[in-house]
Structure 1
Amino acid sequence: MYTKKMETTDILIKIRKIVRSVDIESKKIQKEHGVSIPQVLCLSFLHESPNYQSTQGEIRKYLNLNPSTVSGIINRLEKKGYLARLPKTGDKRVVNITLTSSGDKLLSTIPSLLHEQLNEKLLQLNENELATVEAGLNTLVKILDIEKIEASPMITLDPELEANSDQ
């Protein structure tokens, strides 16, 4: 006999598996490569940007994080030598954030992130399957009353984001 209690327990277990997988990935990347998931995403954005550079504002828009969080990410990556700040040619007031060769080398050693894998799999779903996934997630967000919580399009449990999420 399959009861409503068993169904809800199964749902909670599946959610916990997702959260745990994200936590395990985040800790593994941090331990093996010395960077957080948001830092990897920042480096990846620069890697895909023209001339391997961008502004802090463009990085902030991409990561969908507040300015102080992005500033912290950039500061930590700069200290590690993975990116550099360069004045924009012709306008010294604008600073370009540039991926260094060390940052590019680090990126080549990091495996595909969980959210990238999820995005690829979601793109393979047909419209009905995708609508079903979205409807289920919308229901969860609604019953948890978390519609107003801001979130970036990355899947992470990074303390770097938690520390600055109050803005």
Structure 2
Amino acid sequence: MSDHFLNQLGPKIKIANTVIEKELNNRFAEMFKKYSLTGAQISLLVFLYDSKGRTITQKEIADTFVLSHPTIRGIVKRLEDNNLIATSHLKNDQRQIVLTLSAKGFALLDDNITAIHEIMDKVNKRIVAGLSDADVKQLGHILNVIIGNF
């Protein structure tokens, strides 16, 4: 494998991430004009929504989405400022911040969860357009290997 081809992999993965993120942000911007929510913020809200009844810490979110502490803190702060989530501390470890959907956040997600999933499905289908089922399976495996390498 040539060094040139190898040197292009990282930038191509970054470009793919950027165009996918822009697409999600644009679609969600239309849906959530009032809140100016980004794809990352919507992903966090959906994660909390889908985790009903389970204690979710800020660290778990950071680990799940592979985000730095400052990045996740910024996302959490913006969602708190919009009164879509609430934070508290874990009773047995005051250093751990617990995230929960506020009543307003839950209602917003509950009213829009089907549309959110439709947008995510459309974007996911666009990501794999032109790939066979075997290619999609292999892509998933390759992405897992890449993620596991770090």
Q: Same fold (TM over 0.5)?
A: yes
Count of aligned pairs between the two proteins = 121
Gaps of 5+ in 2: 1-14
Larger Rg: 1
The runs of at least 4 consecutive aligned structure 1 residues that moved more than 4 Å come to 113-117, 131-135
Instruction: State the alpha-carbon separation in 1 of the partners of residues 74 and 82 from structure 2.
Output: 13
- Corresponding residue for 2:38? 36
Instruction: State the alpha-carbon separation in 2 of the partners of residues 39 and 100 from structure 1.
Output: 14
Q: Is the 8 A contact 1:87 1:94 kept in 2?
A: yes
Q: Is the 8 A contact 1:52 1:98 kept in 2?
A: no
Q: CA deviation at 1:94?
A: 2.7
Gaps of 5+ in 1: 1-14, 139-146, 149-167
Distance 1:111 1:45, change over 3 A: closer
Matched letter for residue 23 of structure 1: K
Instruction: State the alpha-carbon separation in 1 of the partners of residues 23 and 65 from structure 2.
Output: 21
Q: Match of 1:41, SS?
A: helix
Which structure has more helix as a fraction of its residues?
2
- Corresponding residue for 1:27? 26
- Corresponding residue for 2:96? 94
Instruction: State the alpha-carbon separation in 1 of the partners of residues 100 and 59 from structure 2.
Output: 13
Instruction: State the alpha-carbon separation in 2 of the partners of residues 22 and 88 from structure 1.
Output: 32
- Corresponding residue for 2:135? 129
Instruction: State the alpha-carbon separation in 2 of the partners of residues 25 and 95 from structure 1.
Output: 27
Match of 2:116 among 111, 118, 122: 111
Q: So what's the TM-score if we normalise by structure 2?
A: 0.61
- Please list, as runs of the form range in 1=range in 2, the aligned pairs for 1:1-167 lying within 5 A after superposition: 19=19, 23-33=22-32, 34-51=36-53, 53-107=55-109, 108-109=111-112, 110-112=115-117, 114-117=119-122, 118=124, 126=133, 128-130=134-136
Matched letter for residue 136 of structure 2: L
Q: Is the 8 A contact 1:84 1:97 kept in 2?
A: yes
